Amino acid sequence: MQYTTLGSSGLKISRIALGCMSFGDTSRGFNEWALDDDDAEPLFRQAVELGITFWDTANAYGYGTSEEIVGRAIRAYTRREDVVLATKVFFKMHDGPGGSGLSRRAIVEQLNDSLRRLGTDYVDLYQIHRFDPGTPVEETMEALHDMVKAGKVRYLGASSMWAWQFSKMQYVAQLHGWTRFVSMQNQYSLMQREEEREMFGLLADQGVGSIPWSPLAKGRLARPWGRRPLAAAPTTSPAGSCPTTTSPSLTQSSRSPRSTACRWPRSPSPGCSATRWSAPPSWAPPGSSTSPMPLPRLTSRSPTTRSARSKSTTPRVSPPATDQNAEGHRYPLCATRPL
């Protein structure tokens, strides 16, 4: 495993992160394919053996049950001081005034609930899951800063928003002397390249690390081209629904990376999803899986190192056509699902 620092911060992380959306209690109705403690054990053990120290979850995953499973896994298979633990806040947890969004009340309430479920008194990286247009940026950034000063959070991160929104939040924090974001968790893969337009340039300029989610495009980049997933039925979630793997929108947007993907080795490597030519300061894609088998391939190749030949011969592909959703971001694979 290779390690780096997250953006321009001093936080040392593994270059591959363990995405924890795959863990949870299916009876809560969040996702039917989630793994419980017993089924998730091989993945946690393998992550520890491979040196994956960066574990990323969210309060909304499994309606809190992902955090509970992650907390128990840390106590069972490793030590808290050996894990860089990240979680998120924004999506609806209950109907009360502190149940969703990025108001001061929501941030304080949801962070305390996350700490209780994780069984720890602090998180290393606390991320806002989306931009909240209903809350003043000043209120959000000051509340997050207060959580850092209270010792409950070490670093702050953001996720899935337009570059101008992220820039505004960073500016407000700097203007008032509050804690700034050190990371951006954004959707990025061969099939979703919107971030190359403005976000990656902003991150590089500001010294902010990139944590791309869904780097394998819902699994379509993890198997030989043309092979369909085992389950083609649509998956629903509290924030919306994903189209089936045979929907016209997926079929259309999936054509773009074909010429690029075929230039990589026949054995599919998750590392091939990293197609940026100029990277932000750090690059740590979360490897979220329901099987331990892909993890050795994830760690066998650094996502940021490729031969000079592959750099020069891999063609650029145009970003696929996408639709804008209510959160102000573009998702060709899943319009409104909180990943």
Question: Rounded to whole angstroms, how far apart are CA atoms 140 and 149?
Answer: 14
Which pLDDT belongs to residue 227? 74
Is position 334 within any domain? no
Digit-by-digit pLDDT tens for the chain (339 residues) are: 999 999 999 999 999 999 999 999 999 988 888 999 999 999 999 999 999 999 999 999 999 999 999 999 999 999 999 999 999 999 999 999 999 999 999 999 999 999 999 999 999 999 999 999 999 999 999 999 999 999 999 999 999 999 999 999 999 999 999 999 999 999 999 999 999 999 999 999 999 999 999 988 888 888 887 776 655 444 444 443 333 333 334 434 334 433 333 223 233 333 333 333 344 555 566 655 666 655 566 565 544 433 333 333 333 444 444 444 434 444 333 333 344
Which pLDDT belongs to residue 89? 98
Query: Pairing between strand 17-19 and 209-210?
Result: unpaired
Question: Rounded to whole angstroms, how far apart are CA atoms 243 and 223?
Answer: 19
Is position 211 within any domain? yes
Which pLDDT belongs to residue 266? 32
Q: How far is CA 94 from CA 60, 106, 119, 140, 280, in A?
A: 10, 11, 21, 19, 36
Q: How far is CA 266 from CA 251, 288, 320, in A?
A: 22, 22, 24
Which pLDDT belongs to residue 223? 81
Q: How many domains does the chain have?
A: 1
Query: Pairing between strand 123-128 and 84-89?
Result: parallel
Q: What is the CATH number of the domain that holds 211?
A: 3.20.20.100
Q: Annotate 111-167 with DSSP letters as a single string.
A: HHHHHHHHT-S-EEEEEESS--TTS-HHHHHHHHHHHHHTTSEEEEEEES--HHHHH
Is position 328 within any domain? no
Amino acid (one-letter) located at 275: T
Amino acid (one-letter) located at 170: Q
Is position 107 within any domain? yes
Amino acid (one-letter) located at 94: H
How many beta carbons lie within 10 A of that of residue 173, not counting itself? 21
- Contact present, 135 and 103 (Cβ < 8 Å): yes
Is position 141 within any domain? yes
Is position 146 within any domain? yes
Which pLDDT belongs to residue 317? 43
Is position 264 within any domain? no
**Main-chain phi, psi angles of 68, to 5 degrees:** -65, -45
Question: Rounded to whole angstroms, how far apart are CA atoms 250 and 261?
Answer: 16
Catalytic residue among 3, 61, 77, 188: 61
Is position 238 within any domain? no
* Domain extent at residue 121: 3-226+269-307
- Token representation of residue 299: 């760690």
Task: List the end-to-end C-alpha distance of the chain, in Å, as a whole number.
Answer: 25
Q: Catalytic: 61?
A: yes
Residue of 205, 195, 224 lying closest to 285 (CA atoms): 195
